[in-house]
Amino acid sequence: MIGLFLLCALPGAGANGEALYCAAEIDARFEGYLRTNPLLMAVPGAKVIRLDNGNQVFLAVASTVLKDDSAEERLRAEKVCKLKALASLLAENRGVQLAHIEQVRKKTMVILEKGREGGQTMTEVLQLTSARVQGVAQGLPVVGRWQSADGKVFYLAIGAVGDRMGRPVAEEKPPGKG
């Protein structure tokens, strides 16, 4: 069950009162976790919240810039964000493999100009860094969607509640819901 609320001030407002998000749709079971952690809503990534009873809440947020307001673009954004969110959750649990290659080439040239000898050294530096996440991730349900206040950035959150081993458990009561 997704509790839908459309507003332009979630979870709070910016320094001078401007709205942070619009068109927010967040599952009521995860609303408390997202709203009490504004950084998670604003900065894409994954978070594992350990509960007092030993269970864990898995949340991953991804974002993408919207090129326009067409249905095709919203569908693309949804697909891209689901993959990004799954990758960030996998990276949180499994880690990221990093590779860095640095190649330096120096070339020295001798220049004769007007009978005088001079030199010039050219250095070419190539640096490549790549990050890779690999593994199998269980598809988690979408638990929230929202947009930046200007409507240019789309955010999507996936999430689930699991036991100490990460196995799905029965629905948790949201924080503050007796």
Assess if residue 50 is contained within a domain: yes
Q: Which residues constitute the domain of residue 73? A: 2-96+140-162
Q: Is residue 172 part of a domain?
A: no
106 within domain boundaries: no
Residue at 105 is within a domain: no
pLDDT in tens, 34-92: 888 888 888 898 888 899 999 999 899 999 999 998 999 999 999 999 999 988 888 77
Phi/psi at 59 (5° precision)? -130, 135
The string of DSSP letters for 52-121 reads TTS-EEEEEEEEEE-S-S-HHHHHHHHHHHHHHHHHHHHHHHH--EEEEEEEEEEEEEEEEETTEEEEEE
Total tally of structural domains belonging to the chain: 1
* Residue 120 within a domain: no
| DSSP code of residue 38 | H
Identify which has the larger pLDDT, 176 or 147: 147
pLDDT for 149-172, tens place per residue?
899 999 999 999 988 887 778 655
pTM (2 d.p.): 0.66
Q: Which one, of 94, 96, 88, 92, lies nearest residue 48 by Cα? A: 92
Domain contains 56: yes
